[in-house]
Amino acid sequence: MRRSALIGALVGAFVTVSAMATVESIRYHHGAPPPSEQATERLLGEFQVNPAWILSGKPVFRGAETVRSPDGKTISGLWACDGPTSFVWHFSHDETVHLLEGQVEVEYQGRRFTIRPGDTASFHAGTQAVWHVPEHATKAYTLHQPGWLVRAWRKLANS
């Protein structure tokens, strides 16, 4: 009797996971952008940040979202800043940046480092960093929403 209950539970779990994966696949398929037929120009539009974030200078921020996953949890784009300036950046998502031009001096979680063209750095959601842009910086970025469980785990791990 125990063996048949275990087999039934495993089959039920398998059917449930398969159904969830199928629904997610269908949602992704219907929400995904079509394949490109030609290149599309994405101009970087100017945007403002909370003035309290600015520590020095009068930065000009520009950016463009280049793609968003159908579930909205992952976003990629381009970002540029003209300095000289220093500011506090608040990360609402996990963010991985790849610097394309310029240089950024960063203070993050008790460490100081410099990001140069070709360098990649990652930052966690819910944290902040001080960025100093001596002249100009352009980066490609990917944002990912880690979800409540990952945020809770990080909070416990950092306690």
Q: What is the Cα–Cα distance from 84 to 17, expressed in whole angstroms?
A: 52
- List phi, psi (to 5°) of 52: -65, -20
Contact between residue 104 and residue 115 where contact means Cβ atoms under 8 Å apart = yes
Provide the residue-wise pLDDT of the chain in tens; the chain has 159 residues.
Answer: 588 888 888 888 888 878 777 877 777 767 777 777 888 888 999 999 999 999 999 999 999 999 998 888 899 999 999 999 999 999 999 999 999 999 999 999 999 999 999 999 999 999 999 999 999 999 999 999 988 888 888 888 877
CATH fit for domain 45-148, picks 1.10.10.10, 2.60.120.40, 3.40.50.300, 2.60.120.10? 2.60.120.10
Element (H, E) at 150: helix 147-157
Q: Is 60 helix (H, G, I), strand (E, B) or coil?
A: strand
